[in-house]
Structure 1
Amino acid sequence: MPKINICICTYQRPKLLTDCLQSLASIVVPSETEVTVTVIDNDQTGSAEATVTGLTETFPFNIYYHCEDKRGIPCARNRAVEETHRLGSDYLVFIDDDEWVEPLWLDKLYAYCQNQGGDIVVSGDVIPELPDKTPEYMRPFFNQKQHPTGTLLGFCATNNVLSPIYLTKDLGLRFDESHPLAGGSDRRFFYEAVKAGVKIKKCAEALVHESVPENRATLRWLSKRKFKGGTTIGWEEKQNGRSTLGIIYSAGRKLIIELFLAGIMFLVGNKYKQNKRWLKACRHLGVLSGAFGLRVDSYKSVDGQ
């Protein structure tokens, strides 16, 4: 019987973690599979242990708690990999601790993987749940780029993904811990998987919902996020052999163009397009910074509770 281990990495967000786990308790388990849940607490004080143990007796399947003392999201993800190996699982599933899943979520992920031969990575969709006060012109910026089911991807994130265990067992892939508090280690992990011949496909029907706190639903936060993401892209391009000069020329040219267009949109009073161009400019500025080796500690602070 195939074994599926659902892993959640968490850090000082007990309420969000509780909501996440409670949603998992209501999922439809794929036919003829065994499901387990593993929580990796990246807080040295073990702040999530009480949350997990409080649900153990009533949880519909086995739930495991482990504390990873080494601070950083890639360290927690790698601990999740090791614990999944110890359980002898065939599939590793990642979701974030600020997400809640729909009842058919896992069934959809697993069924699509089996439909494709059982050896591909499957990435589901994430629906942001924004505060009521969020302005309408800001809402589109929180929706991830939509891909129909079956789309072949060059990489994906760990916010909703099912991965066959051979990626970490046979191929030996791990999350890069060289910048433990920076983002992008999941993107890099799956990029390396694709280079090794692994296929990643989208399953748009496998849905999770992300709780977006008020402090994130702002242009200021999005600007920082785009900049941080850009630094990861710039750093990755250097790692992949692209010259620093080439990155600077390309990103610098795009930065100037986007700032110019943002100014035009400001003058004509189109706030949505103004913000869209501004956010693209922030990303290109991040790419420039990443080309010079800058990495931003995205996971140094905690959003949500």
Structure 2
Amino acid sequence: MTNSDRSNKTVGVLVCTADRPQMLVDCLRSLISQDLPVGWRLEIAVVENDATPKSKDAVAELASGTTVPIHYVQEPRRGIPFARNKALEQALAYGFDIVTLIDDDEQAQPGWLVAHIDTLLRDGISVSYGAVTKTYECERPRWFPPDTPSDMVAGMELPRASTNNVAFLSDLIRPPHNLKFNPVFLHGYEDLDFFENAHAKGFRIVWNPQAVVDEYVPRNRLTAERMLAFTRASATAHVQVGILRQGYARTFVKFGLKGLRRLISSILLLSVVAPLYLAGVTGLERHYYKNRMRLTRAIGNLRGIFLRSASYYNQIDGH
């Protein structure tokens, strides 16, 4: 079936959640208020990634007051790939024609679903990747990496996407393709890997800046400890990708050398900058944290080489 044939169909929004019932409800409210193109209906599937149903009652209460079907299921095995794969199972079980993913700490802006659906109705496009703005609970630290506007233009083709704001044709997860999230990536990169595999199979991914969600960033995610933990996990995940795709030997050489360079240079620079910064010398904050980030990437790379995981998502930020 071509994209233009898709009418009188269902768009399903998949939301994975863990221990954030209030933020989840805000997310779901933004979804049920979405407009839809003529001939389309909306359903929502919530996957709670927890052995304890902490959000079940909140979802049931919200579902009782809307005509939009909201399905709820638990995935007790902790890990983002497990939750996302359970969500894909729901999409297949309910026969969604377009599958959309959004994070539980985000809210869809008006026109979000229309923008995604309109893009996917164009022939040859299989994945619509949308934009994310951020609302911070408190002022960000001065050293924090800045939010830089995307320089991509609407319709630009991309080699990958992430799951915080994306929609795709269900063809990706149906036979013969049967794409799933790789459970190896317990600490990040599982979404990029999924869409890189989709791209390799010939599915076209395009940038869609008209489909916007807003991410709420809580105060505790703006600490140095959390930023460094994220950086370490990301560096480890990149090594995991290399091992899977290029083999251990090539990855060991590539990231071993990179990790050692980062380790040596950051330690040398921190040996000069850290004492001065900690002594109160102004103007060194960015240099101090830049090199702490570099050191953390080195540690993440080396942990990945020695097959050690680097957890970030075990701690839940938000409410």
Q: Does TM, normalized by the shorter one, top 0.5?
A: yes
Q: Choose which of 94, 98, 101 in structure 2 pairs with 1:91.
A: 98
Q: Choose which of 105, 111, 115 in structure 2 pairs with 1:104.
A: 111
* Aligned CA distance change for structure 1 residues 27 and 276 (closer, same or farther; 3 Å): farther
Provide the C-alpha distance between the structure 1 equivalents of 2:162 and 2:117, rounded to a whole number of angstroms. 17
* Deviation string, structure 1 residues 11-35 (Cα, Å, up to 9, x no partner): 1111111111111122122332121
Which residue pairs with 1:165 in the alignment? 170
Q: Unaligned stretches of 5+ in structure 1? A: none
Deviation at 1:9, TM superposition (A): 0.6
Residue 69 in structure 1 maps to residue 76 in structure 2:
yes
| Structure 1 letter corresponding to 2:318 | G
Which residue pairs with 2:203 in the alignment? 198
Residue 28 in structure 1 maps to residue 35 in structure 2:
yes
Deviation at 1:282, TM superposition (A): 2.5
Residue 285 in structure 1 maps to residue 299 in structure 2:
yes
* Aligned CA distance change for structure 1 residues 220 and 44 (closer, same or farther; 3 Å): closer
Deviation at 1:216, TM superposition (A): 0.6
Deviation at 1:177, TM superposition (A): 2.0
* Mean CA deviation greater in 293-302 or 45-54: 293-302
Cα contact 1:126–1:144 (8 A) shared by 2: no
* Mean CA deviation greater in 129-138 or 53-62: 129-138
Please give the residue correspondences for 1:1-305 in structure 2 after superposition, counting only pairs within 5 Å: 1-115=8-122, 117=123, 119-138=125-144, 140=146, 147-170=152-175, 171-178=177-184, 181-242=186-247, 243=250, 244-257=252-265, 269-272=283-286, 274-305=288-319
Percent sequence identity over aligned pairs: 29
Cα contact 1:131–1:217 (8 A) shared by 2: no
Cα contact 2:187–2:234 (8 A) shared by 1: no
* Deviation string, structure 1 residues 217-273 (Cα, Å, up to 9, x no partner): 122211111111010001111111151122211343345456666778877925345
* Mean CA deviation greater in 24-33 or 213-222: 24-33
* Deviation string, structure 1 residues 118-162 (Cα, Å, up to 9, x no partner): 64211111112112332344261x558653323332222111111
Provide the C-alpha distance between the structure 2 equivalents of 1:64 and 1:111, rounded to a whole number of angstroms. 25
| Cα-Cα RMSD | 2.5
* Aligned CA distance change for structure 1 residues 261 and 200 (closer, same or farther; 3 Å): farther
Deviation at 1:38, TM superposition (A): 0.7
* Aligned CA distance change for structure 1 residues 66 and 209 (closer, same or farther; 3 Å): same
Provide the C-alpha distance between the structure 1 equivalents of 2:286 and 2:12, rounded to a whole number of angstroms. 41
Q: Unaligned stretches of 5+ in structure 2? A: 1-7, 277-281
Report the secondary structure of 1:52's partner residue: helix
Cα contact 1:235–1:287 (8 A) shared by 2: no
Deviation at 1:92, TM superposition (A): 1.0
